[in-house]
Amino acid sequence: MNIVVLVKQVPDTYAERKLSSGDHTLDRDATDAVLDEINERAVESALQLKESADGNDSAVTVVAMGPDRATDAIRKALSMGADKAVHLSDEALHGTDAPGTARALAKLIGTIEGVDLILAGNEASDGRTGAVPAMVAELLGIPSLTHTREVTVEGSHVTVRRETDDGVTVLQAELPAVVSVNEKINEPRYPSFKGIMAAKKKPVSTLSLADAGIDASEVGLANAWSTVTESQPKPAKSGGVKIEDEGDGGAKIATYLVSQKLI
Amino acid sequence: MAEVLVLVDHLDGEIKKSVFELLTAARTLGEPSAVVIGPANTVGKLSAGLKSHGAARVYVAETDSADFLTPQVEVLASLIRSKEPAAVLIGVSADGKEIAGRLAVKTDSALLTDVVALSEGPSATHSVFGGAFTAEAKANTAHPVITLRPASVEAVPADGAAVEETVDIPSSPVRSATVLSREPVTAGDRPELTEASVVVSGGRGVGSADQFSVVEGLADSLGAAVGASRAAVDSGFYPHQFQVGQTGKTVSPQLYIALGISGAIQHRAGMQTSKTIIAVNKDPEAPIFEIADFGVVGDLFKVAPQLEAEITNRRG
């Protein structure tokens, strides 16, 4: 089985994230960048499917779009056990919106032969559009099975248990298909020392827009279908009263809530 | 006046509350046209609510298709082509975001997602990074597809003609996933976390899954939703769907009570826009106190039950 995993490098969610004051895009230099956690789960899922597939002809290819330093996120996925990677890196991509990202990823996936399954996280922790996997599927003309907690591939079918706040849906589709995973699907493995060393030798093909056959007029900030016209940080909230509990802490909160007409 | 398409989210003949918010927001951009897709006779139960919230037209597509979300995408795409609406409004949910994304790439429309306010233009306000930034955005295409966050716009009733028109579902060039079974979530006794006006959350300081009953007890006395910090969820104290923070839900209630939560950025980013914040923590240096309107340094197992008793007494 030929599996593609879409991964994204995002600002660490344990750090404070910022927008650039100039063009209102993500300030990538303000924080450490990491492989998005949900993508680790997608990689884990791909590796499990590969391990349970018949024969030795399965491969897991990591696909990422992002600046040069996204290589770190790609290496992390390779050190977990993915076989190879395709990295779309081009300065013209800066500021590409979600539909533009989906178009570029769909083209990029098109450069890989014989793809059976495309795995992704359900929603990146930075943009939180939560629609890129479904958009990629729509553009490729294949089914999207999103927010999945369980994925099974049998023959030419994929069956998933989709779990959202609205309930559980069991979905089935013919391969090839796009599957996005939610945070309950698995616990991703830690890369072993051997895996980390091996990852350094695994093939990563870095493509420019031209290499991937993507027209520069389809991507980038200037060609986005929507434009952020202004952005501002919310003024920081400052602390109010702080007291030591002297046995009446609960009662004092109640008094405060009454004074604020909250109870 | 230009039409604005509003996708009607419904379950078992009940309209979701967010649809009334969408119809209200749609009126700032044009004349709302509700789009109802579902099994035969669905619209009968929905039309009164649509009429009383200003829907001028109601497009009805009846289907028993098991295709997953594809009928919604196809009907909206065909209405975009035939009606050239000013915009398409869809509520934020897992399904809503997916329909919106597929529709946007299918119809070459801008996608403005998770919007909290709309004004003429259309211009959309986004709340980014859990409310740490606000951003204004505009569409560069015709008929932008906009998803609106629930409870961000107040629903205002208005009379609408609600003239019904039946529309066909075009066949899709895209292969679809098929629904084998569905189990909708049965609403619990507590309000939904992101829509609740009061949220009581517990953190690592709660200490165990069993002891989360202290958080639940206080929440129930206030009619509040229960939340949890990432530390509490990762420790297995409370299920993930209640996680508040950068990798969980973003909440913005009137009142947020944080019990045993230190207030790392991971958590603050999910609740810092709450109107009033109360914090109880043993550690006087906990960062949660930097944003708390009223903080108590103390043992949550003493303070929370006392507060719960006070509230119960006052309510009589």
Degrees (nearest 5) of the Cα angle B141, B144, B150? 155
Per-residue pLDDT at A74 = 96
Of B173, B179, B276, which is closest to A141 when you measure between CB atoms?
B173
How far apart are the C-alpha atoms of B278 and B288, rounded to whole Å? 9
Q: Strand B255-259 and strand A2-7: pairing?
A: unpaired
Residues in B 185-244 with any Cβ partner in A closer than 8 A: 185, 192, 198, 222, 240-241
Q: Strand B14-15 and strand B10-11: pairing?
A: antiparallel
Answer whether A109's CB lies under 8 Å from A63's CB.
yes
Q: State the smallest CA–CA distance between residue B161 and chain A in angstroms.
A: 31
Q: % helix / strand / coil in chain B, to the nearest 5?
A: 30, 30, 40
Q: Compute CA distances A120 → A133, A247, B44, B213, B247, whole Å.
A: 7, 51, 39, 36, 16
Residue B316 has pLDDT above 70, yes or no: no
Of B129, B278, B306, which is closest to A17 when you measure between CB atoms?
B129
pLDDT over 70 percentage in chain A: 99
Question: How confident is residue A126, by pLDDT bands cut at 50, 70 and 90?
Answer: confident
Q: Which residue of A has its CA nearest to B139?
A: A226
The edge-to-edge listing of strands for the beta sheet with B198-202 is A241-244, B294-297, B276-281, B255-259, B198-202, B225-228
How far apart are the C-alpha atoms of B118 and B125, rounded to whole Å? 6
Q: Where are the beta strands (DSSP E) in chain A?
A: 2-7, 9-11, 33-35, 59-65, 84-88, 117-121, 144-154, 157-164, 167-174, 177-181, 204-207, 226-233, 241-244
How far apart are the C-alpha atoms of B267 and B19, rounded to whole Å? 30
Per-residue pLDDT at B132 = 79
End-to-end CA distance of chain B, in Å?
53
Tell me what the pLDDT averaged over chain A comes to. Answer: 92
How far apart are the C-alpha atoms of B90 and B146, rounded to whole Å? 6
Of B111, B114, B273, which is closest to A99 when you measure between CB atoms?
B111
Of A103, A144, A249, which is closest to B303 when you measure between CB atoms?
A249
pLDDT tens figures, B33-91: 999 999 988 998 899 999 999 999 999 999 999 999 999 999 999 999 999 999 999 99
Per-residue pLDDT at A161 = 97
Q: Compute CA distances A38 → A119, A248, B30, B206, B267, whole Å.
A: 11, 44, 39, 27, 18
Residues of chain B with C-beta less than 8 angstroms from the C-beta of A129: 97, 101, 111, 113-114
The structure tokens listed for A74 are 């790609």
Per-residue pLDDT at B187 = 66
Of A81-85, A128-132, B203-207, B304-308, the poorest mean pLDDT is in A128-132
C-alpha A30: how far from chain center? 19
**Which residue type, as a one-letter code, is found at position A106?**
A
Tell me what the pLDDT averaged over chain B comes to. Answer: 93
How far apart are the C-alpha atoms of A136 and A102, rounded to whole Å? 5
What are all long-range contacts of A190-194, with beta carbons under 8 Å and residues at least 24 apart?
A: A191/A76, A191/A79, A191/A80, A191/A81
Per-residue pLDDT at A20 = 83
Q: Compute CA distances B256 → A14, A116, B48, whole Å.
A: 21, 46, 36
Residues of chain B with C-beta less than 8 angstroms from the C-beta of A169: 68, 179, 181-183
Annotated domain spans of chain A: 2-223
Most confident of A32-36, A194-198, B186-190: A194-198
- What is the residue-wise DSSP string for B110-142? -EEEEEEEEETTTEEEEEEGGGTEEEEEEESSS
How far apart are the C-alpha atoms of B255 and B253, rounded to whole Å? 5
What ipTM goes with this model?
0.90
Rg, Å, chain B Cα set: 22
CATH class of A2-223: alpha beta
Residues of chain A with C-beta less than 8 angstroms from the C-beta of B247: 13, 37, 125, 183
The structure tokens listed for A22 are 């100039």
Of A122, A38, A100, nearest to B95 by C-alpha is: A122
The structure tokens listed for A68 are 């040069």
The edge-to-edge listing of strands for the beta sheet with B123-128 is A226-233, B133-139, B123-128, B111-119, B145-148, B87-91, B3-7, B31-38, B57-62, B163-166
Residue A128 has pLDDT above 80, yes or no: no
Residues in B 95-154 with any Cβ partner in A closer than 8 A: 95, 97-98, 100-102, 104-106, 108-114, 123, 126, 128-129, 131-141, 144
Residues of chain A with C-beta less than 8 angstroms from the C-beta of B123: 229
Whether B114 sits inside 8 A of A254 (CB atoms) is no
pTM: 0.88
pLDDT tens figures, A67-80: 998 999 999 999 99
How far apart are the C-alpha atoms of B256 and B219, rounded to whole Å? 10
H or E, element range at A183: none
Per-residue pLDDT at A55 = 67
